[in-house]
Amino acid sequence: MKNKQWMSVLLGLTLGGFNFAAEAQTRPNIIFLMTDDQSIHSMGCYGNGDVQTPNLDRLATDGMIFDRHYATTAICMGSRATVMTGLLEYRSGTNFMHGHMQKSTWQKSYPVLLRQAGYRTAFAGKFGFDIQEVPGTKTLPVPSHDFDVWKGGEGQTSYSTKKNESMKEYADEYPHCTLSYGAFGRDFIKESAQTGQPFCLSISFKAPHLPRNADNRFNKLYKDKIFTKPDNFGRENGLHFAKQSHKTRGYNAFEDRDYDKDYNRVIAQYYRQVYGVDVAVGMIRDALKEAGIDQNTVILYTSDNGYFCGAHGFGLKALPYEEASRVPMIIYDPRHSNSGKGLRSATLTGNVDIAPTLLDLAGCSIPEGLDGRSMLSVYEKPTATIHESLPLINVWGVSASHALTVVTKDHKYINWSYAGENYEVTEELYDLNRDSLELVNMAQHPEAKETLKKMQKLYDGHVAHWGQQAVDYNSYQQFGMLFDRTKTWAEKEPFVVELDRASHQSVK
């Protein structure tokens, strides 16, 4: 055996099977940044000329913007479970009002698999779900032991850095949590660069989630600014939505959260929260450059769900409309020849694709049967297709607001299946190319008849997949039936009554 091979064997034995020094040269570092409740309209690179997001805009120019990226479940807990696992909600088995993640599912999540593959892993910020050995048992402690460095927190975490136990050391310099995550990212990058081991840094920012606490150091930004409202702003632009959509906290939030009477003040504070994230992203990119590893570090930037911000007369998220379900996605791979061109892709992608993408970047085998696909083929060819359609799932909140939606590159079909009380099954169909603001429901238009049929067929396919693949706990199997267009309300109603009873007793 040649000397070089012997050296490799010796290193392998010493380091538990991984030759980290050699690996670091071939495998990229990975940084996955995710905000909480961030609308794409909060970013300059997505077309809002009123806001300042210079670091995010630069990241987008250096990398690629994904213009049709969706959260398949547009609410924190369900979305985060999907991001970690590459599984749709009914297969991750995880969301508010349903239940926690089973340990065997967590063990196939991207952070666990990347660490097994020799990556140095870190997590900071809002983790967003709990893990149980099996459903119905008590929740396990946060999985800090599954990361090399843990700076995460349970529940919603706090905007006050000193209240986030694992982040306290940053509280004096960065009393507001957003920049504390930038500072931690900087330190972790510096430290990791010295180890020679490839790393995966995941930061889940709390911003711009409620409450509207921006860092005081940005108080002067947007002071007295008058913002241009989106063209679908206000109640008058949501009258065509199904009645079921009005039975949500988001509908009430338009008034409760002052979008109707104090838009400039509330949106300025929201954009200030995003500005803090932008500064933190700048800190992280500066740290990469200083450590000399910026050319071998891939960055992904996204949000767990979108936010209405008053569009269609709604606040909050959860519903299948563009503002709540479509989210930012920027990928920057400095090693790729498509970088630095400011490219955009209109390919349909989703949060379900994140875990497979991160594993693909690391050269890991992607577990079989995931719902997501790697987005690297889109980075290679921005017109490539990886999904014909994606489901948008809402099984959170009151039963009347539950809906299953199918989105393709051209259309969106929503089926509101709740027909209790004074409601009836309602369909919505949007032509996303001609009507990106979703102002005209085409479901009853004769000219859209063929499209409606096609979308219904895709929808039925997703319902069938749900029926075959849903986990057999946390009430997910029943929903395959509840969304089935061939079943009558009389068949569904007993399950709805049971679900409502169970959801009141389970996860709060």
296-335: contacts with Ca ion (CB under 5 A): 304-305
Tell me the site size for Ca ion, rule CB under 5 A: 5
Q: Which is nearer to Ca ion, 153 or 234 (CB)?
A: 153
Signed CA dihedral, 123, 126, 129, 132: sign only: positive
Q: Which conformational region is residue 363 in: left (phi greater than 0), alpha (psi within -120 to 50 degrees), or beta? A: left
Residue 36 binds Ca ion, judged by CB under 5 A = yes
Token couple for 255: 């008034």
Q: Which is nearer to Ca ion, 35 or 357 (CB)?
A: 35
Q: Which is nearer to Ca ion, 96 or 184 (CB)?
A: 96
Q: Which of 23, 37, 62, 428 binds Ca ion (CB under 5 A)?
A: 37
Q: Checking DSSP bridges between strand 329-332 and strand 149-153, what pairing results, if any?
A: unpaired
Min separation Cβ 3 and Ca ion, Å? 54
117-176: contacts with Ca ion (CB under 5 A): none
Token couple for 421: 């009380």
State how far the Cα of 348 lies from the Cα of 140, in Å rounded to an integer. 36
Whether 40 contacts 325, CB under 8 Å: no
Min separation Cβ 238 and Ca ion, Å? 21
Q: Which is nearer to Ca ion, 297 or 405 (CB)?
A: 405
Per-residue x/- marks for Ca ion, 257-296, CB under 5 A?
----------------------------------------
Min separation Cβ 397 and Ca ion, Å? 14
Helix locations, 257-333, DSSP H: 263-290, 322-325
HSE-CB at 477 with a 13 A cutoff on CA atoms is 4
Min separation Cβ 67 and Ca ion, Å? 20
Min separation Cβ 304 and Ca ion, Å? 4
Q: Which is nearer to Ca ion, 100 or 373 (CB)?
A: 100
Helix, strand, coil percent values for the chain (each to nearest 5): 40, 15, 40
DSSP structure class, residue 311: B
Residue 67 binds Ca ion, judged by CB under 5 A = no
Residue 76 binds Ca ion, judged by CB under 5 A = yes
Judging by beta carbons within 10 Å of its beta carbon (0-12, 13-18, 19+), is residue 437 exposed, middle or buried? middle
Q: Which is nearer to Ca ion, 76 or 370 (CB)?
A: 76
Residue 253 binds Ca ion, judged by CB under 5 A = no
Whether 378 contacts 354, CB under 8 Å: no
Whether 344 contacts 330, CB under 8 Å: no
Q: Which is nearer to Ca ion, 37 or 67 (CB)?
A: 37
Min separation Cβ 278 and Ca ion, Å? 18
Binding residues for Ca ion, rule: CB under 5 A, are: 36-37, 76, 304-305
